[in-house]
Amino acid sequence: EYGVLQPIVVTRKEFDLPTGQGVEYELLAGERRLRAAKAIGLPHIPAIIRGETSDKVKLELALVENLQREDLNPLEKARAFRRLVDEFGMRQVDIGAKIGKSREVVANTLRLLNLPEDMQQAVAAGAITEGHTRPLLMLVDHQEDQLALYQNIVASNLSVREAELKARNIARERARAALDPETRILQEKLEDVLGTRVHIERKGVKGKISIEFFSDEELKAISE
């Protein structure tokens, strides 16, 4: 009824002909709008005409335009972000500014590419959600645990929250196993005395102790 509301973007190219000068227009952004307009027989649509544009700028414009689509899956976005970083030297904050997202959103999406290929494909196919990738990425340095958690998510249809709890427990047990025997005994003693989970992290002779609580009552009891 109203035609194309958002102009497509084209570049104008002039070239010499025996009879004079010819002009061509190359589409940079708006392929789906152009196809839809042709499909319903619109004779004209609005367009923004850019001057001569390098192939590099054309690709950047096409990638940014493509990222505006709502039907892209998270993995397609991650791969587009990676191309903008690798081929155009763009920083994550610059990518975010171009597509109206925060740097953190761009960074978290790029982290999907650190997952094994089968897990990436599961995200692309919708077998697991982008939220499920957060606990999987927590185990990126422990491939066997990561694979076991992934299989558990798929087989048991775990929620994101359930997967995060399992990933934390796995990471905690890994850290516990990495402690020297004397420190591990001290950690277990603290857990017995305080009645909650305790984590000791050592860096040489220094370190820190983390004490978990799950309610105001537990916090009060630990304090007392």
| pLDDT tens readout for residues 113-143 | 999 999 999 998 889 998 999 999 888 878 8
Strands 47-50 and 8-17: parallel
What contacts 24+ positions apart, CB below 8 Å, involve 133-141?
Answer: 133/74, 134/108, 134/160, 134/164, 135/160, 135/163, 135/164, 135/166, 135/167, 135/168, 136/163, 136/167, 137/111, 138/164, 138/167, 138/168, 138/171, 139/167, 139/170, 139/171, 140/114, 140/115
Q: Is 155 exposed, middle or buried (0-12, 13-18, 19+ CB in 10 A)?
A: exposed
Contact 64, 98 (CB under 8 A): yes
Mean pLDDT, residues 178-197: 83
Mean pLDDT, residues 167-186: 82
Contact 136, 119 (CB under 8 A): yes
Q: What is the pLDDT of residues 32-71, one digit of tens each?
A: 889 999 999 999 999 988 876 677 777 777 777 777 666 6
Distance (Å, rounded) from C-alpha 198 to C-alpha 213? 10
Q: Which residue has the higher pLDDT, 60 or 162?
A: 162
The angle, 0 to 180 degrees and rounded to 10, between the axes of the packed helices 143-156 and 117-125 is 30
Among all chains, which residue has been given the structure tokens 């990518």?
95
Q: Which residue has the higher pLDDT, 88 or 44?
A: 44
* 50 membership: H or E segment, kind and range: strand 47-50
Counted residue by residue, the chain has a size of 224
Which residue blocks in the chain are alpha helix, DSSP H?
31-39, 55-67, 74-88, 92-99, 103-110, 117-125, 133-138, 143-156, 160-178, 181-194, 216-223
One-letter amino acid of 125? A
Can you give the pLDDT at residue 70?
64
Choose the catalytic residue: 1, 14, 24, 31: 31
Can you give the pLDDT at residue 205?
82
- Does 164 qualify as catalytic in the annotation? no
With a pLDDT cut of 70, the percent of the chain lying above it is 96
CA-based Rg of the chain, rounded to a whole angstrom?
27
Mean pLDDT, residues 19-28: 85
Distance (Å, rounded) from C-alpha 29 to C-alpha 82? 20
Nearest Cα residue to 94 out of 128, 183, 102, 134: 102
